[in-house]
């Protein structure tokens, strides 16, 4: 338990003394109200004065039990005031009962001056307890309200001081989240900035205000309102907005040149102690995807529950997210197989910290090129599900080292698929790429051969369901365009784009991982699953948006330089072959479609795979051309 500071103890002691004073004043005044007809000199004060310390003690103890002194009255709510009222009522009732049943000395003889008559009179009428309760409540609540009012006035003066007026905030959304954000900024002493205006599409709210901040205009008027109020920071507080509307609003906000932040959703605040401002984040390029992020059916993924799952390349950006997604479905064990130990070790630690050893996380170091090492791992764990993410994926680097791509992407896939078949794995899923469609580079061609290997094993296997998942560029993965752009921005630019017309399909790392896991549950054998990724995005548009999100103006503050297409790079990518489109059909998830296997010479495939260990770098591209006739990354002369 956290030790209470001296200042906190002092504040509580001060409040107790103040409340004790209010209690005594209240009940004395209440008594006077009920004794105005009796001359004060006739009072037998000694017989009732002892009631005041007893009464004070009862109320203070009740306040302590109700934790009234734990309430921060700077940020108190109606519930806190209600709790204070209940505590005061209970204490007054307890005091009245104590007076009647314990003290039993409430009746005294009093001689009236006007008539000389002696009568028995209650020293402390029970009605006085009720009046005293009301007066006590009024004084104690009034003191808290007065304290809060003074605190607010001081903060308002600070709000308008020169030291803090440079950060003027616009809040988008006058709903529950917007009100929560506004309240927290105000209660934080405006040290995060000065909210000056709220914008909301609901016209019925326009003209009103929240905590003194006006609601003005709709979201389409953001640029004009931002200029009018000299806004330099915008906080987006509509977590329930549809993705397309969010993207539209973010684009409007970016046109203002203001810094843009996003509030969390109310469901992200796990308890009352969570601070909203600690969960603010800057608008990310992911928020500007041209389509909603696809959410997949978790029921389809339950085939991994209670199973041992092997993930090759499990320490990579996609492989590690794949392990995280799989862990959600409670497998018995996840085996991370990777040649690079550092990321695998970090991933294991994070999963163990989150799931406390269930599922069990094991790491085995090795290469998918090494069939002997693979067999050792399969023999040790006997996995029932295999996700093959290990691959060389960097297009320009594979153009320089084509044989390494063949060994890792083709031979590695064959070795892993062979072990999966031999050890009767239930599900095998290959992670492929849209670059495998009509490939123009070595990496794409090797991944197309990997798809053919999967379909080959699907035809010959009786125990394993083999499938592949094909998706576009994964935002945020190692070597992807966004980290490169961000690094260039941090260095002051310029941002380099190969061609002004180059486009790509994009998805997030969690999307890619979810799709892969779901594919294993949907597979019957030999399919290639493809995500409906919406419209392709221009790379230059991504670069421009990233510059704007960083608070700069494209081509003015940060330049964009076009460097020309790199070896093996295409202007656009395709998601499926023409032959595959003829048999394309949707799955039970409308955002995923599946292609059926196309005819291929399996004998030729196996023959060429057998030649890889004797293949030379100079003949690698011809090797790929023989296996993938539509591979265009070779000089035909």
469-503 pLDDT, tens digit each = 888 777 766 667 777 888 888 888 899 998 888 88
Q: What percent of the chain has pLDDT over 70?
A: 77
How deeply is 50 buried, as exposed, middle or buried, from its count of CB atoms within 10 A (0-12, 13-18, 19+)? exposed
Give the global pTM.
Answer: 0.67
pLDDT given for residue 386 in this prediction = 96
Q: Name the residues annotated as catalytic.
A: 435
Which of these ranges, 164-168, 234-238, 312-316, 591-595, has the smallest mean pLDDT? 164-168
pLDDT given for residue 4 in this prediction = 46
Q: What is the DSSP letter of 425?
A: -
322-362 pLDDT, tens digit each = 999 999 899 999 999 999 899 899 999 999 999 888 899 99
Cα 63 from chain centroid?
Answer: 39
Q: What mean pLDDT is reported for the chain?
A: 79
Architecture of domain 168-283: 3-Layer(aba) Sandwich (3.40)
To the nearest 5 percent, what fractions of the chain are helix, strand and coil? 50, 15, 35
How many C-beta atoms lie closer than 10 Å to residue 69's C-beta? 15
1-49 pLDDT, tens digit each = 344 444 567 777 888 888 888 777 777 777 677 654 444 444 444 445 5
Q: Are 137 and 227 in contact (CB under 8 A)?
A: no
**Hunting for tokens 């607010």 — which residue is that?**
152
Distance CA 240, CA 269 (A): 15
555-592 pLDDT, tens digit each = 888 899 998 887 777 777 766 666 666 666 666 666 67
437 backbone dihedrals φ, ψ, rounded to 5°: -90, 120
pLDDT given for residue 420 in this prediction = 96
203-225 pLDDT, tens digit each = 888 888 887 788 888 888 899 99
pLDDT given for residue 298 in this prediction = 74
- Better pLDDT: 74 or 280: 280
- Those residues with Cβ within 8 angstroms of residue 236's Cβ, 6 or more apart along the chain or in another chain: 172, 173, 246, 249, 250, 253, 260, 261, 262, 263, 283
- Better pLDDT: 518 or 402: 402
Which of these ranges, 2-6, 52-56, 226-230, 313-317, has the smallest mean pLDDT? 2-6
442 confidence band (pLDDT: 50, 70, 90): very high
**Hunting for tokens 């260990």 — which residue is that?**
613
Q: Is residue 164 over pLDDT 90?
A: no
* Residue range(s) occupied by CATH 3.40.50.720 in the chain: 168-283, 298-473+507-533+575-627
- Better pLDDT: 409 or 299: 409
CATH 3.40.190.170, domain 298-473+507-533+575-627, yes or no: no
Q: Are 102 and 115 in contact (CB under 8 A)?
A: no
């Amino acid at each position: 338990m956290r030790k209470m500071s001296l200042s906190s103890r002092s504040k509580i002691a001060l409040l107790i003394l103040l409340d004790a004073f209010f209690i005594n004043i209240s009940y004395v005044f209440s008594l006077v109200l009920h004794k105005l007809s009796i001359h004060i000199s006739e009072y037998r004060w000694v017989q009732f004065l002892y009631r005041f310390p007893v009464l004070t003690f009862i109320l203070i103890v009740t306040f302590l039990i109700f934790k009234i002194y734990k309430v921060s009255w700077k940020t108190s709510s109606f519930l806190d005031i209600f709790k204070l009222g209940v505590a005061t009522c209970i204490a007054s009732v307890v005091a009245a009962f104590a007076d009647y049943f314990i003290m039993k000395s409430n009746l005294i003889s009093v001689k009236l001056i006007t008539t000389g008559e002696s009568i028995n009179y209650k020293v402390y009428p029970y009605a006085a307890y009720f009046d005293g309760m009301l007066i006590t409540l009024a004084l104690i609540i009034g003191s808290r309200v007065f304290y809060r009012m003074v605190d607010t006035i001081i903060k308002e003066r600070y709000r308008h001081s020169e030291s803090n007026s440079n950060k003027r905030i616009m809040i988008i959304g006058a709903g529950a989240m917007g009100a929560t954000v506004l309240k927290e900024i105000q209660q934080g002493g405006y040290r995060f900035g000065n909210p000056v205006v709220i914008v909301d599409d609901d016209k019925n709210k326009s003209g009103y205000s929240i905590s003194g901040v006006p609601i003005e205009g709709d979201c389409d008027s953001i640029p004009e309102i931002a200029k009018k109020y000299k806004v330099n920071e915008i906080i987006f507080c509509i977590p329930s907005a549809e993705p397309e509307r969010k993207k539209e609003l973010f684009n409007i906000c970016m046109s203002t040149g203001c810094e843009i932040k996003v509030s969390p959703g109310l469901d992200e605040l796990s308890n009352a102690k969570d601070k909203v401002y600690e969960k603010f984040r800057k608008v990310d390029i992911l928020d500007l995807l041209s389509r909603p992020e696809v959410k997949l059916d978790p029921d389809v993924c339950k085939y991994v529950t209670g199973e041992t799952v092997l993930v090759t390349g499990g320490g990579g950006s996609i492989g590690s997210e794949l392990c995280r997604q799989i862990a959600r479905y409670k497998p018995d064990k996840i085996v991370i197989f990777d040649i690079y130990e550092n990321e695998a070790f970090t991933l294991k630690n994070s999963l163990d910290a989150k799931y406390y050893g269930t599922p069990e996380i094991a790491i085995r170091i090795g290469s998918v090129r090494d069939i002997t090492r693979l067999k050792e791992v399969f023999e040790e764990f006997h996995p029932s599900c295999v996700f093959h993410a290990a691959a060389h994926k960097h297009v320009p680097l594979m153009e320089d080292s084509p044989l390494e791509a063949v060994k890792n992407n083709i031979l590695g896939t064959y070795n892993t698929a062979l072990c999966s078949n031999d050890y009767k794995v239930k599900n095998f899923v290959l992670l492929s790429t849209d670059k495998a469609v009509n490939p123009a580079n070595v990496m794409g061609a090797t991944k197309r051969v990997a798809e053919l290997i999967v379909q080959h094993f699907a035809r010959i296997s009786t125990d394993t369901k083999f499938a592949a998942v094909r998706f576009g560029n994964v935002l945020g993965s190692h070597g992807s365009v966004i980290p490169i752009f961000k690094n260039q921005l941090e260095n002051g630019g310029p941002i380099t784009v190969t061609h002004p017309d180059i486009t790509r399909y994009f998805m997030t790392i969690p999307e890619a991982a979810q799709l892969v896991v779901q594919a294993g549950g949907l597979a019957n054998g030999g399919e290639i699953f493809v995500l409906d990724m919406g419209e392709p995005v221009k790379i230059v548009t991504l670069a421009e948006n990233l510059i704007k999100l960083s608070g700069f103006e494209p081509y003015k503050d940060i330049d964009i330089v076009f460097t020309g297409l790199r070896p093996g790079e295409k202007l656009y990518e395709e998601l499926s072959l023409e032959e595959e489109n003829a048999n394309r059909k949707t799955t039970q998830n409308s955002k995923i479609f599946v292609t059926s296997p196309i005819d291929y010479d399996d004998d030729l495939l196996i023959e060429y795979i057998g030649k890889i260990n004797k293949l030379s770098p100079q003949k690698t591209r011809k090797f790929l051309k023989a296996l993938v006739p539509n591979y265009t990354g070779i000089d035909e002369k």
